[in-house]
Amino acid sequence: MTDAIDYQEIFREIVSGFTDADDRGDVAAYIPELGKIDPRKLGIHLTTVEQIHYSFGDSDEKFSIQSIAKVLSLTLALKILGKDIWTRVGVEPSGSAFNSLVQLEYEKGIPRNPFINAGAIVVCDILVSCLTDPKVELLEFIRETSGIPTIDYCSTVAESEKRMGFRNIALVNFMKDFGNIHNDADLVLDLYFHLCSIEMSCKEIVQAFLFLAADGINPVTKTTVINSQRSKRINSLMQMCGFYDEAGEFAFRVGLPGKSGVGGGIVAVHPGKFCIAVWSPKLNENGNSHKGMKVLEEVTTKTKFSIF
């Protein structure tokens, strides 16, 4: 059982203690639709494995979850392909930018991990190979395993990403040259851009990710999303690779597996206890939510709950 802690009061304490210095950063304006988001938004939601809910601020407002969704596409690919996925993508921290071409050339088209752009594109290629209608079936998987039938893509964001996706176009073609993309590049990128455009609220993200706190079973739907061993593997990957160039810093300061997105969202998991999501659109220099990182650091400091 999760210890009786008043997370609601902890959230209030954390937010009331913010200063002007805690409001640094910029929204991800390089994706035009994300540049329109109100930078003052702040949402927090935590759900325990016993399904006790705590929320603060804009926790029910949907936003573009971006790279957070890469965990869900990986989960589906693991269910379908199992360990064979690791012949196409690695499990190591990248140590370089999330959209780097340099590292990809050095490693002959095999991305370091499934959470950098190249790795997530390979996962999308796997789904295109394995599914009859990848966009529809991926969305169905997320809706069914989360128990939230209203989760959807945002076509406006997907189109915005497509218009500005020159680096991702380069990545997919670069990997195709190395033989690590098996399908039409445009088809793979279409799935990738739609994956990143998925919209959820903090509360919905937590419900969709709660299986990672409960050995692969979503306590809300009682659905076995993935087996316990693979749930452990996904948590390990989030711990090592979930925050671009800042994964080590997040592990050091927060001490939980997690995944961020340039929409300003962060999800973090304490296996056996809870899942928490934070949304604040202003990003630091590494592409992670500045205020979101601060909230999660304060939560684990005040509760003394981390995996270490």
Q: Which residues are catalytic?
A: 67, 70, 192, 244, 262
Angle at 277 between CA 291 and CA 268, to 5 degrees: 95
Pair of tokens at residue 249: 């810093």
Q: What's the CA gap between 2 and 52, in Å, rounded?
A: 10
Distance between CA atoms of residues 44 and 60, nearest Å: 9
Strand partners, 111: none
Q: Is 57 left (phi over 0), alpha (psi -120 to 50) or beta?
A: left
CA distances (Å), 96 to each of 68, 102, 134, 241, in order? 19, 9, 30, 11
- Give the integer Cα–Cα distance in Å for 109 and 50: 43
* Owner of token pair 């690791």: 86
Identity of the residue numbered 51: Q
